[in-house]
Structure 1
Amino acid sequence: MMTCDTSRGYKRHFLYVILCAIYLCLLCCWIDRWNGSETWLQMWTKNGTSVSASKSNNIPLSILLWHWPFGRAYPLNGDVCLDLFKIPGCEVFDQRSEFSKVDVVVFHQRELAYKKEKLPLHLERPHRQRWVWLSLEAPENNGNLQPFANLFNLTMSYRRDADITVPYGELQPHDGEVEVLPMNKTDLVCWVVSNFNRRQKRSQAYSQLSAFVNITVYGRWKKAPLSAADLLPTISHCYFYLAFENSLSKDYITEKLWRNAYQSGAVPIVLGPTPVDYRAVAPPNSFIHFDDFSSAKELVTYMQELAADRERYEDFFRWRQEWKVKLYVDWRERLCKICTQSLPQQKVYSDLHTWNNV
C-alpha cells in the first residue's frame, strides 16, 4: 500500500516536472523574440512611452527615405551620418529594395499631396517597422491628411511638439571667434518677397508700414531678384528686415529669420506665429514682433528711434557673443537626426489631419 509520504513525494515530483516544462516554454518564447525584431530593451519598454532610437548590441538604426523631397537626391555613400554629421549608429538608404529590412521609413508629404508618390500599402509591412510623416510646410500646404489615419507612427516637422523636430535653424553655443557685423546701413527697412498675395497678413502688414516709411523691396514681385551670393550682403545694408512668414502657423519660423535676418546682420521684424513661439527658440532682445505694437505707425516710430540710437540698436546683437545660428539645409542631416532622439515605441497617429492643423 502506498504511504502518505510516498504520495506526497510523487505529487512534488509531478509539480516539479510541470514547472520545468513551463520554464522551458517561456525560455523558448524569450529566445524566439530575442532572435526576432525586438531587443530585450524593447521588450521591457514595450508598454512604456519611449526608447532610444538606436538599437542595442551596436546594431545601427536603419532608415529608408521612400522618396527624396522635391526630387533632389543627395549621395548616401559610406557612413553618411558619421562622416558628415558625427552621428554614429545610423544607416540611411534610398533603395526601396531595403523596405522589408529597415527599422524606419520616411515619407515626405509634398510628393504625397501632389500624387507624385504613393504609400507602399501593397507591401507587407514588418511588425516593428515605424513610418515617419515628414513635412516642413505650413499646414495649409500639406493637403488632406485624413486618408493617412492610423498609418504613421511618428511626425517629423519644424514643430516643437513633433516626435522628431527639424527646425529651419537653431541656436548653438559659440565655439570660436565672434563674427563682427558690418554697420554700413543705408536703408531703414527692407523686404525680400517673390510671391505677393494681398490676402495674406504679411502683405497687409507691409501695406500698413509702407504708409509711414519707405521700404526697400527685392525679389521677383518687384522684378528685383537677388542671387544667393547677393542676398545677405544686400540685406546687411538695412537696419531692419521684414522676416514675415507666409503662414501664421504654430512654430512656423523659417529661413526668413534664421538666415535672411540673423545671418545678414539686420534686426528682424517678425510676423508669423505668436511672440511666445518666437521667444521659445530665438535669443531675447534679438527680434521685434509686429503684433507687439498697437499700430504700424507706432512700430515705424520705434524703428526710427532705434536707428538713431546706435547703442540701443546694437543691443539687438549682444546675443551673438554667446550664440551662433545653425541652419539645417541638408536633407541627409535631417534624416540622421532621427537617430539622436528618443522615439515613442508604441504610437500611431489616428488623426494626423487634426494634429497638423492645430
Structure 2
Amino acid sequence: MAYFYIRLGKVAKLVFLLPGIILLYLSFDSDSSTSLDNHGRQSASRWLMSLYESNRNYVFKSKKRDGTKQTILLFGMKPHWKEFCKYPEMSHCKDLINFPRDVFCPTLNQSITITFSESAEDIRGADVVLFTNVYNWMTPDMWTWIHGNRSDGQPWALVSLESPLYVPGMTPPEQYRDTTYTWVASYKTDSDLTLPYGYYESYGENKPPEIDLKPFVTNKTKLIAWMSSNCGTLQWDRHRFVNDLKEIIQVDKYGKCGEQEVPWNDAKAVRATLGQYKFYLSLENSCCDDYVSEKFWRTLEMGVIPVVVGASREQYTKIAPPNSFIHVDQFASLAELAIHLTVISNDEDQYLEYFKWRNQGRIVVYSQEVQYVVPLMEKTHCSLFQHYMQTNRSEDKTVEYMGKRWFGSCDSCGDKWIQSYKL
C-alpha cells in the first residue's frame, strides 16, 4: 500500500487524443474500407491538431529535447540525513544520499535523475526543484540568487512532514513569500502531494472475523502516560498542560521531559513502557490543520487510547478511526477531562467502546525511521514527478506561504479552555 496520495490539478488529457489518432490513421489507410475522403481527412487532421494545441501542456515526455533524462533537484537537505543514512541499522536507506542517481518510476514507466546541490546556479535547467532543508540555512541574498537562477515555468516544491512553525529554512524573505513555491508536499490533506503519518481504511466487504477486544483492557495497570524529548514548544505550553493535569490525576512522564528516558527509536522498549497504560497524551508540538503525527498513530497501534491536542476535533474525526480518541475540545475544563478519564478507566464496557473500530477497519502506520527520510525517498520523487507530468504548467499558481495552505493553517489550539495555554 503506497504511503502517499496525489492531488492532481487536472489529469493528463492525452487519452482524449486517441479517438483522433485512430480516425487519422484510418483516413490515411488506403486499404481500409472505412477510409475517409479528402475532405474527411482534412477535417480530422484539423480537429486533432486543435485538440493537441489545447492539451499540449499535458503530453508526457520521457526525455528532454537534448535527449537527457528529466531531473529533480534537491536544493539543500537536513545535515543529519547524511549521518543518519550511514548508520548500520539504516543501511537500507544509504542510497538515498547518493547523488546523482537514476530512479525508475513504475507509474510513469520511465527513469528520472535525482540530483542534489546547495549552489544556486545549479537550479537552472532542473525540471523540478525540491526544498527539504527545514533548518534556517539560507540568507536573504541566497534567496535572491536562487530566484535569479530559476528557469521559466520551473516548479518549486516545499516538501515537509513537519509543521510550518518548525521549518524556518523553508520560509522565504517577505519579498518572495508568495512567489516561491508552486506545490506543497506535506501531511496536509489539501497538499498537491499528501504524505500522511498514517491512515485508517475500512474493511468494507473484505471484513475478517471479529477479534476479541478484551485483551485491550487486560493487564493495563496504569492510567496516563506522556513521553517527550522536546519540552519547549513554540505555539502552546504543552508541558504546563501536562503538569496541570498531573495535579488532578496520575500522569507518568517519560523522556527528557520526564523522570525516565525511553529510546524513541526502540519500538519494543516504547511498547513495553506505554502498553501498560490506558491513556496516552498525544500532544502535538503545533496546532495546525491536519497535523496528526506519528504520536497519534503509534498510540493506536499499541492499543492505547490517545488524548489529543493538535488539529481540530473535526479534522481528527475525518482522519482517524471512528471513536478511537479523546479530544480536549469535548470538555468544558481540564477537570472535566480528568473526571472523564477516571470514569471510563473504571468501566470496562465504556473503555472498550474506543476499540470497536478494530472490527471495522485497520490502520497503516509508518515507522519513525521511514517518516524521517520521506523527502529523500524515491516514491516521493516519483509522485512529485507524476504530478509534474500530469498538470498543466499554465495553470500552476504559487503558494501564499502565510496563507491557509501553509503557515496560516496553524492558528489555534482548540476553541475552548485549551486556549489558555497559548504562548
TM-score, L = length of structure 2: 0.63
Equivalent pairs, count: 310
Aligned to 1:247: 286
Aligned to 1:36: none
Describe the SS at the equivalent of 1:222.
coil
Q: 2:219 and 2:277 mapped to 1: Cα distance?
A: 8
Aligned to 2:181: 152
Note the alpha carbon deviations across 1:251-310, whole angstroms, 9 max, x for none: 221111112x11221100000121112112111101100121012222122222222222
Aligned to 2:55: 44
Note the alpha carbon deviations across 1:188-219, whole angstroms, 9 max, x for none: 11000223248834233323321221101100
Aligned to 2:16: none
Aligned to 1:357: 407
Structure having greater relative contact order (Cα 8 Å, sep ≥ 6):
1
Moved more, 65-74 or 235-244: 65-74
Aligned to 1:138: 163
Describe the SS at the equivalent of 1:93.
strand
Describe the SS at the equivalent of 1:110.
coil
Supply the AA of the counterpart residue of 2:258.
K
What is the deviation of 1:225? 1.6
Overall identity of the aligned pairs, in %:
24
Do the aligned residues in 2 keep the contact of 1:62 with 1:90 (CA within 8 Å)? no
What is the deviation of 1:179? 8.8
Match of residue 138, structure 2, among 107, 115, 128 = 115
Aligned to 2:129: 105
Aligned to 1:64: 73
What is the deviation of 1:173? 5.4
Do the aligned residues in 2 keep the contact of 1:81 with 1:87 (CA within 8 Å)? yes
What is the deviation of 1:323? 1.5
Using a 3 Å threshold, how does the CA distance of structure 1 residues 185 and 66 change in structure 2: closer, same or farther?
same
What is the deviation of 1:72? 0.9
Unmatched runs of 5 consecutive residues or more in structure 2? 1-41, 64-68, 83-92, 409-423
Do the aligned residues in 2 keep the contact of 1:262 with 1:325 (CA within 8 Å)? no
Do the aligned residues in 1 keep the contact of 2:231 with 2:256 (CA within 8 Å)? no
Describe the SS at the equivalent of 2:131.
strand
Supply the AA of the counterpart residue of 2:296.
L
Match of residue 162, structure 1, among 186, 191, 196 = 191
Are residues 1:217 and 2:253 paired?
Answer: yes
Describe the SS at the equivalent of 2:280.
strand
Describe the SS at the equivalent of 2:260.
coil
Moved more, 60-69 or 292-301: 60-69
RMSD (Å) for aligned C-alpha atoms? 3.6
Using a 3 Å threshold, how does the CA distance of structure 1 residues 122 and 288 change in structure 2: closer, same or farther?
closer
Are residues 1:294 and 2:332 paired?
Answer: yes
Supply the AA of the counterpart residue of 1:307.
S
Do the aligned residues in 2 keep the contact of 1:103 with 1:128 (CA within 8 Å)? no
Describe the SS at the equivalent of 1:279.
helix
TM-score, L = length of structure 1: 0.73
Q: 1:289 and 1:318 mapped to 2: Cα distance?
A: 18
Are residues 1:187 and 2:222 paired?
Answer: yes
Q: 1:323 and 1:241 mapped to 2: Cα distance?
A: 20
Do the aligned residues in 2 keep the contact of 1:108 with 1:134 (CA within 8 Å)? yes
Using a 3 Å threshold, how does the CA distance of structure 1 residues 217 and 126 change in structure 2: closer, same or farther?
same
Do the aligned residues in 2 keep the contact of 1:70 with 1:110 (CA within 8 Å)? no
Are residues 1:278 and 2:316 paired?
Answer: yes
